[in-house]
Structure 1
Amino acid sequence: MTSMTAVVKAAAGPGAEIDQVEVPEPKGADVLIEVAASSICGTDVHIFDWNEWAQRHILPPRVFGHEMSGRIVATGPDVKDLAPGTFVAAETHVVDHTCRQCRRGLYHLCENTRVLGVDRDGSFARYVLLPAENCWRNAPGLSPEVAALQEPFGNAVHAATAGALKDNAVAIFDPYRRELAERMGATAVLAPSASTVDDIRKLNGGVGVDVVLEMSGHPVAIEQGLQVLHRGGWISLLGIGDQPVTLDLNDLVVTKGITIYGIFGRRIWDTWEQTSSYLSTGQVDVSPLITHRFPLDDFQEAMAQMKSGRSGKVVLLPEGG
């Protein structure tokens, strides 16, 4: 193995290239994984579009992509507990274990986090290099595509479990299509509009909701989420926006006693345990979220589908669609 196909942000500016890059060699405690499936995330769209967020965080050239699953094909000399052939998914936040947050056990808040596909080369490629400690052994029988979705599903699990959901009215602000939300069992689905706040309040007797999960990072969605919360409610902010957000904190947060949770990745490894349990017991089936599959070589078409707004999760398959 000397070269491989990969999606590369080759230079500052919109777009990405399909190119041949060198296959990385696992050293120390790293493993080399042959990618089986890698799904496109909103972060990847930011990188492709080269918006303000990407300009601040990406240093080209960079192979991007991070939601993935695959099999280990080689290990560094310091890897003791993983062998070639092991089917894994990636915890994408590589932490230093030495900062104040890591020493407190808050690895997901590591002060020196390096994110796969952002700060180091990612999974839109035939092979990806990952620290062995960042590998999650997948449950037997889990499909590669669903295994790749554990990372984003873990984000949602973290957002949903930051506070108590039981017996509360919950509003989710998310860019996915209405039919997908209905298919996944949403009680009510509303198209975004100027009347969204009033529409949600009407659904709950005019009092608003207890909990908001904001997944888009869009300033309007964040403001509407805070508006629809009644006093004492809480909001989880997961979406990464591409612009600063200006809000009236006095009216929307302070005088309403609102609690705000910032969600950055998954609790390592608590969220993974929860996520795996939901999938293995059948409590949650994320497979309906996968609406499109493309060979890695068709990345441009896959990204266009993702950006069209007419898709759920779009999955890239390095070995073909």
Structure 2
Amino acid sequence: MEEMETKGEFKVRSVGVCGTDVAMVKGSYPPRKDPLVLGHEFAVERDGALYTSEINLVDWTCKYCRRGMYTHCENRKALGIDVDGAMREYMDLPGYLLHEDRVGLRPEELSLTEPAAAVLRMVELIHPSPSDRVLVLGDGPVGIISAAVLEHYGFDVELNGHNPERMRVAENLGIPTTRSSTKYDVVVEATGSKALGEAMRYVRHMGKIALKSTHGLEVSLDVTHAVVNEVQLIGSRCGPFYLWDKAMHLIKELDLRRIVTTYPFSEYERAFQDVLNRKVVKAVLMI
């Protein structure tokens, strides 16, 4: 697998600032290439058509790829993490990563497809029961998208966050918010911080915790508590190809563009600072 050239056949139109990008800037999640062009949530254009893109460059030959688990390829390289990503004007992309927009989304909305597909993968893995009560910890983009998707599917969902402005965005999307100390069947940890202990306090016996934070930090775990109470910890990462069209339709149906704040690419420093200071839910750079 070769790294992409700085110029290519696709024009980058928008790129989201992800929590992983922020963690790499802060130094808690070391990039695997130095220097590195960040950006793995993006929209590109070619010949008038808009596309969004998966992030994993894979070899298709390892044992995971042969089993259909290509997002876990032993030799994968992730855009914006292992190789240069989308915070630039042009890039080359292999065809197997691309998903053409047939929903009529704007470029900034298409930048939400990667996190939305990852949320759908999480829902697939936790496989909640219809009667489950779900708590989402975290008022960032993954937390709000998780709560919106789960609520859309009919689950009894509440969102717990600490930022008043972000919580108002969630409430405007119709997401119930809470400060409750009740126990829940499923807890989604999407804070982007070391909040696993908080998730353990909220989950009921034999409940599930979905791990969605990629902050790169070490966290402590009361293993005895998890074992005695038979708590399941379920990690999830990228959404496989079959979830991307569904993600695009949900972005439109749930009007998730309301979580987006756009910035000209020249103001990338302000965008990163606003994310670091939690002034916005989702910053998207327009190129």
1:142 paired to 2:105: yes
SS in 1 for 2:92: strand
**Counterpart selection for 2:170 from 181, 186, 203:** 181
TM-score (norm 2): 0.84
d(CA) in 2 for partners of 1:92 and 1:309? 25
- What is the aligned-residue identity percentage? 26
TM-score (norm 1): 0.75
TM-superposed deviation, 1:35: 0.9
TM-superposed deviation, 1:69: 0.5
Which residue of the partner structure matches residue 229 of structure 2?
Answer: 256
d(CA) in 2 for partners of 1:235 and 1:309? 24
Which residue of the partner structure matches residue 5 of structure 1?
Answer: none
**Counterpart selection for 2:135 from 164, 167, 171:** 171
Contact conserved, 2:33 with 2:83, CA < 8 A, in 1?
Answer: no
The 5 A counterparts of 1:54-203 are 54=30, 57-72=31-46, 84-165=47-128, 166-176=130-140, 177-190=166-179, 199-201=180-182
* Structure ranking higher on relative contact order (CA contacts 8 Å, 6+ apart): 2
For 2:227, give the aligned amino acid.
V
Which residue of the partner structure matches residue 26 of structure 2?
Answer: 49
SS in 2 for 1:250: helix
Contact conserved, 2:184 with 2:203, CA < 8 A, in 1?
Answer: yes
d(CA) in 2 for partners of 1:270 and 1:216? 27
Which residue of the partner structure matches residue 273 of structure 1?
Answer: 245
TM-superposed deviation, 1:108: 1.8
Q: Please give the root-mean-square deviation of Cα atoms over the aligned residues, in Å.
A: 1.7
Q: Deviations for 1:7-64, whole angstroms, at most 9, x for unmatched residues?
A: xxxxxxxxxxxxxxx7434xxxxxx31011111101111122222x22xx33211111
When you count helix as a share of all residues, which structure comes out higher? 2
Number of aligned residue pairs: 257
The 5 A counterparts of 1:289-300 are 289-290=259-260, 292-300=261-269
Which residue of the partner structure matches residue 24 of structure 1?
Answer: 7
d(CA) in 1 for partners of 2:48 and 2:224? 55
Unaligned runs of 5+ in 1: 1-21, 26-31, 73-83, 191-198, 202-207
Contact conserved, 1:214 with 1:236, CA < 8 A, in 2?
Answer: yes
TM-superposed deviation, 1:144: 1.0
Q: Deviations for 1:177-198, whole angstroms, at most 9, x for unmatched residues?
A: 22122122222233xxxxxxxx
For 1:275, give the aligned amino acid.
A
Q: 1:151 to 1:86 in 2, by over 3 A?
A: same
Q: Deviations for 1:283-310, whole angstroms, at most 9, x for unmatched residues?
A: x2211111x2111111111111111111
Unaligned runs of 5+ in 2: 141-165
**Counterpart selection for 1:209 from 162, 167, 184:** 184
Contact conserved, 2:193 with 2:215, CA < 8 A, in 1?
Answer: yes
Which residue of the partner structure matches residue 309 of structure 1?
Answer: 278
For 1:36, give the aligned amino acid.
R
Contact conserved, 1:67 with 1:148, CA < 8 A, in 2?
Answer: yes
Q: 1:41 to 1:112 in 2, by over 3 A?
A: same
SS in 2 for 1:271: helix
TM-superposed deviation, 1:217: 4.2
